[in-house]
A and B are shown apart, each in its own frame.
Chain A
Amino acid sequence: MTITEKTIKDHGLSLAEYDEIKKVMAREPNLLELGIFSAMWSEHCSYKSSRRHLKNFPTKGKAVLQGPGENAGIVDIGGGLACAFKMESHNHPSFIEPYQGAATGVGGILRDIFTMGARPIAVLDSLRFGAPDNPRTKYLVSGVVAGIAGYGNCIGVPTVGGEVSFNSSYDGNCLVNVMTAGLVRKDRIFKGIAAGVGNPVIYVGSRTGRDGIHGAVMASDVFGDGGEERRPTVQVGDPFAEKLLLEACLELYTTDYVIGIQDMGAAGLTSSSVEMASRGNVGIEIDADKVPRREDGMTAYELMLSESQERMLMVVAKGKEAAVNEIFAKWDLECSVIGRVTGDKMVTIIEDGKVGACIPVTALTDGAPVYDRPSARPAWQDSVNTLDIDSIKLPANYNETLKQLVGSLNIASKEWVYRQYDYMVRTDTVTCPGSDAAVVRIKGTDKALAMTVDCNSRYCYLDPARGGAMAVAEAARNLVVSGAKPLALTDCLNFGNPERSEVMWQLKEAILGISEACRVLGVPVIGGNVSLYNETSGVSIYPTPTIGMVGLIDGLANHRTQWFAAEGDVIAVIGHGAPSIAGSEYLKVMHGLERGVLPEIDLAKEKRLLDACMAAIKAGIIVSAHDISDGGLAPALAESCFNPGGAIGAVIDVIGASERPDEFLFGESSGRIIVSVRPDDLEKLKTVTALFDVPCEAIGRTGGGSLVINGLIDMPVAGLKEAWAFAFGRYLGEMAAG
């Protein structure tokens, strides 16, 4: 068939891009070739709008073994071990079909980790939904959480942490960002590379179906008789199949048969084969007729573009085909030789015994378009950055305000969510969900990994650069208060339509802010993804650059939680930030406003705070530590009181607190940590913090059954905890228990 303008448009390509394709091919592409180009040149695979900006990220560091560009980044954690981790978005599918969208999001990122040779050890999720009263929100929350649970629990990887938040900017686009970390021996890392001309290309896992075929390109006129059933574009997950694939691959990695291996994620067989060939600087030939399929009559076009789940592609050493097959057969998995590595640097697809497509590999990868899309600060930015603080009325009753804040969905306990996740399987979860970071020990060592996912998208809306930097700083603080040294981060950059100049500005600014924070805090970016076009009916989501960070706890005894542990301990705030109600949760919940100028973030001071907190934990001075974030000081103190092992109250008396009590209690700022220490250790804490030039102020004592703050707040902890613990369950129409 001939390629018409409509065909080109249906493939999401511009006419200029089509002209470029004709130029690199030196002829008209056929439909199969067009499909392959459209997948590889899509925003998702090519990063064409973001690529030039992503170059700003610092990606190198002492611990980095693998930076961006592979299926996952890897950091050295000592003792011959390494941690592979990555975060990816599954936003659009989750909005269409929340259970399967979220489930396959988990499945996809797990494959990215075990394709590197690592056994997945933990999953974290950053979830964002529309306004709580949006009619679709409850359905999406229930479905997404059930989907993550359904996949993660079955495959037996604990879901140990994450975040859930609500904002009307997500009414038309929820965000599901899933991070997975895995453990691998440093000398047994595998990569997605094709090498060795003549080596066989092997397909393993589920058969290929017609699910998830690239976008809506399957107009029936393209495929003949017009009677083709249109399959949903969301794939269906089979966690049991993936569990078998995981165990079989890990068994295979103990041999020397594998040259390179890659999962078939977005754009399926197309992207996996092209990317493997590209990394190895070789060609690859795929015989579509040999691809295992669920039904007869599938074309090469469908087979190459299907996004069926639980499939892997690998190149193995010639002659080892039977041995490889034996391992997969043990796990009842099908594997087939579907092609070979070639020396011609072309990707060649055979269909019906003839060459159906033949494209230079580099045309699909390096040759993909890179855009410098116009960007401009939005016209509305100045207006949202104004806040007349004098017009904000002080609360009539601070007790009531605190109770309302801790019971608001963004701050309330997420137990309703995480009790649906098996967060204990693998018996390594040292800190369960609910504290600042999850802590997962490494058996056979005295080490543990701490992990967190963070972003305050309201901050990013008010100031994408500062908000991006704050997300990095918050993630780092969450690790440090848990006793971990931050090693590296992965990010999911969720933004609106990049063809709008204001969205491009947000993206550029956020990347600059993140990059600056990474440089000053010494935490490189080792991977991630970009999710654009999160826009419905012209309304974009708030810019949401989610940060997933991993840190190392050397000496398991050095791990800490946010919870006060004993009566009579001294409570202190270390750090420097001056709290502000601009952009705060308080301003949103109590006054319905999301505006103002964010407080400044001084990254050099942040770095010193991290170092001081780390030093004090290592010296055994700090009993508990908690980052002050959403809601400010008072909610953070309340959270520290809610020890799951038994609540402990606190009496706080801050001298010279701000004139505006709401600013003092509920104002937010980057760079402050609540710690508790034994009374005898306060002087030592002051000595350590002074060494790093970090302010340290004792503000009260733990003990009693109430949270008492400066004569403003006096609430029984039990009552506060009740408001906090059951808000989420009540919202979803059930109590948290049962």
Chain B
Amino acid sequence: MKFGIIVFPGSNCDHDCYHAVKHVFGCEAEYVWHKETALAGFDCVILPGGFSYGDYLRTGAIARSSPVMSEVVAFAKRGGLVLGICNGFQILAEAGLLPGVLMRNRALKFICAPAHLRVENNSTVFTSAYSAGQVIDVPIAHADGNYFADADTLKRLEDGGRVVFRYSTVDGKVTIDANPNGSLSNIAAIVNEAGNVMGTMPHPERACEQALGSTGGRGVFESILKGFAGT
């Protein structure tokens, strides 16, 4: 299975994603410069975290206009797997591949911290290696992770089981105190209607090795690999 990792000017988790898929999971991986216009040969495309275009104007707002993005949209329409992490999630939201917006954190500050997430839906291609209701530790590091959507959109997300991770306490309770950034309904990650595009504010690539303190993010990559092996 081959991963493409998009590099926008200002991406800074591109190396981390590459390391995770290539060295931790032993997959093929290649960087894709944002000026590229083809995504042939890739099975999964990752939009990594960082500060594409310095987050100037609005997070993800300029990156969505990068040349590669029209191909990312087409790739997703063809059913290709797209994983947006942190700034990648923000770009996917700006590009319209995922609904809603990521607003400034409730406390108006950047937050880097470990976070507990409850797996809300383990039937997606990104979460099938987890058990339903499992609580995983995956860190967050963002200034704009406060998910918001209008009531209709939220209802569609909830009804469709498209909220995949929610911020929770260590024993899986979804509470206000467990919500680090003010996200609507403690939403940490969602998928699109077809289930092949996921956006997550927590960083699974930072939680793949015990040496770094947590392996809670491994399941995301294991799920993708499992799904690919099954096709």
Q: Which residues of A contact B (CB under 8 A)?
A: 146, 149-150, 153-156, 238-241, 243-244, 331-332, 418-430, 432, 441, 443, 556, 734, 737-738
Judging by beta carbons under 8 Å apart, are B112 and A420 in contact?
Answer: yes
Judging by beta carbons under 8 Å apart, are B109 and A424 in contact?
Answer: no
Q: Which of A153, A239, A424, A429 has the most CB of B within 10 A?
A: A424
Judging by beta carbons under 8 Å apart, are A238 and B113 in contact?
Answer: no
Minimum C-beta distance from B92 to chain A (A): 20
Contact partner of A441 (CB less than 8 A), chosen from B16, B50, B143, B211, is B211
Residues in B with CB closer than 8 Å to A153 are: 51, 110, 112, 141, 143
Judging by beta carbons under 8 Å apart, are A240 and B15 in contact?
Answer: no
Residues in B with CB closer than 8 Å to A419 are: 111-113
Residues in B with CB closer than 8 Å to A420 are: 109-112
* Nearest B-chain residue to A556, judged by Cβ: B211
* Nearest A-chain residue to B203, judged by Cβ: A424
* Nearest A-chain residue to B179, judged by Cβ: A738
Contact partner of A738 (CB less than 8 A), chosen from B51, B53, B107, is B107
Judging by beta carbons under 8 Å apart, are B139 and A238 in contact?
Answer: no
Given A240-B53, A430-B212, A443-B19, 20 additional A-B pairs, CB 8 A: A146-B109, A149-B109, A153-B51, A153-B110, A154-B12, A154-B51, A238-B54, A240-B51, A243-B12, A243-B51, A244-B10, A418-B112, A420-B111, A420-B112, A421-B110, A422-B112, A424-B112, A424-B206, A427-B212, A443-B23
- Mark interface residues in B1-35 (1 if CB within 8 Å of A CB, else 0): 00000000110110110011001000000000000
How far apart are the CA atoms of A676 and B111 in the complex, in Å?
Answer: 32
- Residue B55 interfacial (CB < 8 Å): yes
- Residue B177 interfacial (CB < 8 Å): yes
Judging by beta carbons under 8 Å apart, are A244 and B9 in contact?
Answer: yes
Residues in B with CB closer than 8 Å to A428 are: 212
Interface residues of B in 109-130 (CB under 8 A from A): 109-113
Residues in B with CB closer than 8 Å to A443 are: 19, 23
Q: Which of B9, B106, B112, B177 has the most CB of A within 10 A?
A: B112
Minimum C-beta distance from A382 to chain B (A): 47
How far apart are the CA atoms of A332 and B54 in the complex, in Å?
Answer: 13
- Residue B94 interfacial (CB < 8 Å): no
Judging by beta carbons under 8 Å apart, are A154 and B55 in contact?
Answer: yes
12 A-B pairs (CB sep. < 8 Å): A146-B109, A149-B110, A154-B10, A240-B55, A240-B56, A241-B54, A243-B51, A244-B9, A419-B113, A423-B112, A426-B15, A443-B19
Minimum C-beta distance from A102 to chain B (A): 14
Q: Quick one: given A422-B110, A738-B180, are A156 and B50 in contact (CB under 8 Å)? A: yes
- Mark interface residues in B35-69 (1 if CB within 8 Å of A CB, else 0): 00000000000000111011110000000000000
Judging by beta carbons under 8 Å apart, are B141 and A734 in contact?
Answer: no
* Nearest B-chain residue to A331, judged by Cβ: B9
How far apart are the CA atoms of A426 and B180 in the complex, in Å?
Answer: 22
Residues in A with CB closer than 8 Å to B160 are: none
How far apart are the CA atoms of A144 and B55 in the complex, in Å?
Answer: 20
Q: Quick one: given A153-B51, A243-B51, A737-B177, are A427 and B20 in contact (CB under 8 Å)? A: yes
* Nearest B-chain residue to A241, judged by Cβ: B54
Minimum C-beta distance from A433 to chain B (A): 9
Residues in A with CB closer than 8 Å to B54 are: 154, 238-241, 243
Interface residues of B in 185-230 (CB under 8 A from A): 203, 205-206, 209, 211-213
Judging by beta carbons under 8 Å apart, are A424 and B212 in contact?
Answer: yes
Residues in B with CB closer than 8 Å to A244 are: 9-10
* Nearest B-chain residue to A145, judged by Cβ: B109
Contact partner of B107 (CB less than 8 A), chosen from A426, A429, A441, A734, is A734
Residues in A with CB closer than 8 Å to B12 are: 154-156, 243, 425
Residues in A with CB closer than 8 Å to B53 are: 240
Q: Which of B143, B203, B211, B213 has the most CB of A within 10 A?
A: B211
Judging by beta carbons under 8 Å apart, are A427 and B51 in contact?
Answer: no
* Nearest B-chain residue to A247, judged by Cβ: B9
Residues in B with CB closer than 8 Å to A556 are: 211
Minimum C-beta distance from A54 to chain B (A): 36
Minimum C-beta distance from A421 to chain B (A): 6
Judging by beta carbons under 8 Å apart, are B16 and A239 in contact?
Answer: no
Interface residues of B in 122-158 (CB under 8 A from A): 139, 141, 143
Contact partner of B16 (CB less than 8 A), chosen from A238, A240, A421, A426, is A426
Return the 6 tightest CB-CB contacts between A and B, nearest first: A156-B12, A240-B54, A154-B51, A427-B16, A422-B141, A422-B112
* Nearest A-chain residue to B112, judged by Cβ: A422
Q: Quick one: given A154-B51, A239-B54, A422-B141, are A430 and B211 in contact (CB under 8 Å)? A: yes
* Nearest A-chain residue to B12, judged by Cβ: A156
Contact partner of A243 (CB less than 8 A), chosen from B9, B112, B209, is B9
How far apart are the CA atoms of A244 and B213 in the complex, in Å?
Answer: 31
Judging by beta carbons under 8 Å apart, are A332 and B9 in contact?
Answer: yes
How far apart are the CA atoms of A556 and B212 in the complex, in Å?
Answer: 11
Q: Which of B10, B20, B55, B206 has the most CB of A within 10 A?
A: B10
- Mark interface residues in B167-193 (1 if CB within 8 Å of A CB, else 0): 000000000010010000000000000
Judging by beta carbons under 8 Å apart, are A432 and B20 in contact?
Answer: no
Minimum C-beta distance from A237 to chain B (A): 11
Residues in A with CB closer than 8 Å to B113 are: 419
* Nearest A-chain residue to B113, judged by Cβ: A419
Residues in B with CB closer than 8 Å to A239 are: 51, 54
Judging by beta carbons under 8 Å apart, are B110 and A243 in contact?
Answer: no
Residues in A with CB closer than 8 Å to B23 are: 443
Residues in A with CB closer than 8 Å to B213 are: 432
Residues in A with CB closer than 8 Å to B51 are: 153-156, 239-240, 243
Judging by beta carbons under 8 Å apart, are A427 and B9 in contact?
Answer: no
Minimum C-beta distance from A333 to chain B (A): 10
Residues in A with CB closer than 8 Å to B139 are: 424
Q: Quick one: given A240-B56, A422-B112, are A427 and B141 in contact (CB under 8 Å)? A: no
Interface residues of B in 49-107 (CB under 8 A from A): 49-51, 53-56, 106-107
Residues in A with CB closer than 8 Å to B20 are: 427
Minimum C-beta distance from B81 to chain A (A): 21
* Nearest A-chain residue to B208, judged by Cβ: A427
Q: Quick one: given A154-B55, A424-B212, are A738 and B9 in contact (CB under 8 Å)? A: no
Judging by beta carbons under 8 Å apart, are A738 and B141 in contact?
Answer: no
Residues in B with CB closer than 8 Å to A441 are: 211
How far apart are the CA atoms of A352 and B20 in the complex, in Å?
Answer: 55
Residues in B with CB closer than 8 Å to A734 are: 107
How far apart are the CA atoms of A240 and B23 in the complex, in Å?
Answer: 28
* Nearest A-chain residue to B205, judged by Cβ: A427
Residues in B with CB closer than 8 Å to A238 are: 54
* Nearest B-chain residue to A238, judged by Cβ: B54
Judging by beta carbons under 8 Å apart, are B10 and A243 in contact?
Answer: yes
Residues in A with CB closer than 8 Å to B19 are: 427, 443
Minimum C-beta distance from B132 to chain A (A): 26
Residues in A with CB closer than 8 Å to B209 are: 427
Residues in B with CB closer than 8 Å to A156 are: 12-13, 50-51
How far apart are the CA atoms of A153 and B55 in the complex, in Å?
Answer: 11
Residues in B with CB closer than 8 Å to A738 are: 106-107, 180
How far apart are the CA atoms of A150 and B54 in the complex, in Å?
Answer: 10
How far apart are the CA atoms of A592 and B177 in the complex, in Å?
Answer: 38
* Nearest A-chain residue to B209, judged by Cβ: A427
How far apart are the CA atoms of A697 and B166 in the complex, in Å?
Answer: 49
Residues in A with CB closer than 8 Å to B10 are: 154, 240, 243-244
How far apart are the CA atoms of A150 and B110 in the complex, in Å?
Answer: 9
Residues in B with CB closer than 8 Å to A155 are: 12, 51
How far apart are the CA atoms of A441 and B212 in the complex, in Å?
Answer: 9
* Nearest B-chain residue to A448, judged by Cβ: B211
Residues in A with CB closer than 8 Å to B13 are: 156, 425
How far apart are the CA atoms of A423 and B112 in the complex, in Å?
Answer: 7
Minimum C-beta distance from A448 to chain B (A): 9
Judging by beta carbons under 8 Å apart, are B141 and A425 in contact?
Answer: yes
Residues in B with CB closer than 8 Å to A241 are: 54
How far apart are the CA atoms of A418 and B109 in the complex, in Å?
Answer: 11
How far apart are the CA atoms of A428 and B106 in the complex, in Å?
Answer: 28
How far apart are the CA atoms of A427 and B53 in the complex, in Å?
Answer: 22
Minimum C-beta distance from B13 to chain A (A): 6
Minimum C-beta distance from B58 to chain A (A): 14
